[in-house]
Amino acid sequence: MEAHTLTTELQAALALHGLALRGGFAPVPEDQLPTGRPVASVWMVGVIGSAFWPHFKASAFYGDGRPDPLDRWSRAIGEELATRFGGLALFPFDGPPYHPFQRWADRCEPTQPSRMLLRIHPVHGLWHAYRFALALPAAAPHSAAAGTLAPDLCAGCSGQPCLQACPVGAYTGEAFLLDACASHLHSDRGSDCLQGGCRARLACPVAPELRYLPEHAAFHMQAFAGQH
């Protein structure tokens, strides 16, 4: 299958779930992909904003009461697509060892580390994530992002409001103080963050139109609090 045809078919299949094709690249030995089958390309799949949220919420995984509903929803879709296109689905939550999803993302898009240590995108800001990758036997098109050195978005951000917005100073610009964040979320004072989303993330001025829906943001915050 030609690369452009595969791109079109993957985009159409992912759109049914509100997911986005984030780009593809040709793997190298350093990527340490599972062996046993030919792999000519790795395609990154993720979310942008809350486009996927209605699809996930309408799925059987959302309300079944079992752990990790979003990961299980992602796995079901990824494995179905891998079977359809003759490849293998890879997930960021499988491990250790974990697949280097952030490094793979940089092979496809001009993402870069933010002061919150999340990957920031010049168009999507902090409001995106990678749910799985597809290792396929068909070739991927060359990514225009490969080798691109984008300007440091955070260095040019006046006042860096994300570092000022956290009520407990959990983000220093160089580290994330997990215990401080978790303790705050488990306190009465942390209810706003728990229900409305991370204040530091909400303070980022890049792509405010893509901020997660409150229900979507609360889902992630409550999952984080439940793990810590």
0.85 cut: is pTM over it?
yes
For strands 112-113 and 88-90, give the pairing: unpaired
DSSP character at residue 178: H
Closest CA to 183 of 128, 224, 133, 140: 224
CA–CA gap between residue 181 and residue 99 (Å, rounded): 26
Give the per-residue pLDDT at 124: 97
**Model pLDDT for residues 82-119, shown as the tens digit of each residue:** 999 999 999 999 989 999 999 999 888 999 999 999 99
Give the per-residue pLDDT at 5: 84
**Is the pLDDT assigned to residue 223 strictly greater than 60?**
yes
Structure tokens at 228: 């810590």
Residue of 143 and 29 predicted with greater confidence: 29
Residue type, 148: T
Give the per-residue pLDDT at 19: 98
Percent of all residues in the chain with a pLDDT value above 70, rounded to a whole number: 93
Give the per-residue pLDDT at 148: 56
Percent of all residues in the chain with a pLDDT value above 90, rounded to a whole number: 82
**What's the whole-number mean pLDDT along residues 131-152?**
74
**Model pLDDT for residues 189-204, shown as the tens digit of each residue:** 999 999 999 999 999 9
Lowest model confidence (mean pLDDT) among 11-15, 31-35, 47-51, 202-206: 31-35
Show me where the domains of the chain are located.
3-136, 161-227
